């Protein structure tokens, strides 16, 4: 596994701007980024317009990380060395103006140039490798004269990689899977299935399938709160399954749920990455877009994953690309096939540098 220890003096002050749109995936990614930067010695201010989810997502806080309102005033002397605008959001105009002034003064006083980074959405599509690390000179507005750099997370060595904590392997190795399953009503011969989704078109077909007895397959459905729980409770077939409705979980506890289950049905960006690190069979419910642009994005990911035909077919039905009637029947043999695929993908990712290490290296080059 590549070392995450950089051979340069890392930037010490980071501001991460995050606007919460919906579903808390954006704040989830930004918190993991901030927390791991803090763990590696940086001082981070996470500036967000809605920090409410952190009360249950990360109630323990994180070393070297503070939370500020999105538009909080910041003295010019305390501006960050690195500014991350996550997912295309733009820092407030007064902040950018002060940052640009500091940028203009840095060469004269010999100080570190502030680096402005647009951290983009995760995708396996071809454009990611082409656009990763590209500059955009800002010609007008409060940040005129600065360069905004585009940094793309991704799944290949020509991208920015994925968020991976330095202590993740140790945490996972020390995890007591047997005890966790017993505490959540999962018997030794059960197949635990976690459900974290939006409202997938094939959900009724899946619940009907799981409620039908099958030799050697005893599903135990664990449903996360919010949209997943609401979608399940709206279906009569769910009552026959006697699902376990889980309470809200911290990010640490969410990881443990993924490690403990035999199949993880995940959604969005953050939980996809965590499912990959878990190394268990998984299915991704991609965020649906009105113009169906997510279809190409899903297929690009499945191509990178080298998904077997059964897993590709399940993803297509789960995400509405094909009819729900085409949903493959889950069996122990199918889970073994998907497990092998997941482990192969994880091993491939572990040979690459993680996103935080790459960001630190990139910033050192540009400042």
Name the residues annotated as catalytic.
26, 269
Answer for the pair 109, 281: CB distance below 8 angstroms, yes or no: no
Q: Which residue has the tokens 């969005």?
A: 268
Of 307, 264, 257, residue with least CA distance to 285: 264
Is 180 in a helix, a strand, or coil?
helix
The CA radius of gyration of the chain, in Å to the nearest whole number, is: 22
Query: Hey, what are 270's tokens?
Result: 């953050």
Answer for the pair 273, 122: CB distance below 8 angstroms, yes or no: yes
DSSP assigned state of 289: -
Of 87, 116, 118, residue with least CA distance to 22: 87
- Helix (H) or strand (E) holding 68, with range, is strand 65-69
CA 238 – CA 235 distance, rounded (Å): 6
Q: Which residue has the tokens 């960050």?
A: 80
């Amino acid at each position: 596994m590549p070392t995450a220890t950089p051979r340069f003096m890392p930037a010490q002050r980071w501001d991460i701007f995050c606007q919460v749109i919906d579903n808390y995936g954006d704040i989830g990614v930004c918190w993991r980024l901030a927390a791991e930067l803090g763990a590696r010695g940086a001082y981070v201010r996470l500036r967000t317009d809605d920090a409410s989810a952190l009360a249950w997502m990360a109630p323990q806080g994180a070393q070297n990380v503070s939370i500020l309102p999105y538009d909080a005033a910041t003295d010019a002397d305390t501006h960050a060395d690195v500014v991350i605008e996550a997912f295309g959001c733009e820092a407030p105009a007064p902040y950018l103006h002060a940052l640009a002034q500091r940028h203009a003064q840095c060469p004269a006083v010999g100080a570190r140039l502030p680096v402005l980074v647009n951290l983009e959405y995760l995708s396996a599509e071809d454009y990611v490798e082409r656009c990763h690390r590209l500059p955009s000179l800002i010609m007008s507005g409060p940040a005129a004269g600065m360069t905004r750099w585009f940094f793309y997370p991704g799944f290949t060595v020509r991208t920015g990689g994925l968020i991976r904590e330095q202590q993740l392997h140790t945490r996972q190795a020390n995890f007591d899977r047997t005890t966790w399953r017993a505490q959540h009503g999962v018997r030794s011969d059960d197949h635990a299935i976690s459900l974290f989704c939006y409202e997938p078109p094939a959900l009724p077909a899946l619940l009907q399938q799981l409620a039908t007895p099958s030799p050697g397959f005893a599903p135990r459905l664990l449903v996360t709160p919010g949209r997943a729980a609401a979608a399940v409770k709206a279906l009569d077939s769910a009552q026959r399954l006697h699902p376990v409705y889980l309470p809200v979980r911290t990010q640490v506890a969410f990881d443990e749920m993924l490690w403990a289950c035999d199949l993880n049905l995940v959604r969005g960006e953050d939980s996809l990455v965590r499912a990959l690190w878990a190394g268990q069979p998984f299915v991704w419910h991609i965020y649906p877009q009105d113009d169906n642009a997510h279809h190409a994005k899903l297929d690009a990911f499945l191509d990178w994953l080298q998904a077997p035909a059964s897993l590709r077919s399940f993803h297509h039905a789960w995400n509405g690309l094909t009819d729900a009637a085409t949903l493959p029947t889950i069996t122990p043999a199918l889970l073994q096939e998907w497990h092998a695929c997941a482990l192969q993908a994880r091993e491939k990712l572990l040979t690459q540098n993680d996103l935080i290490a790459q960001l630190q290296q990139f910033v050192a080059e540009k400042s």
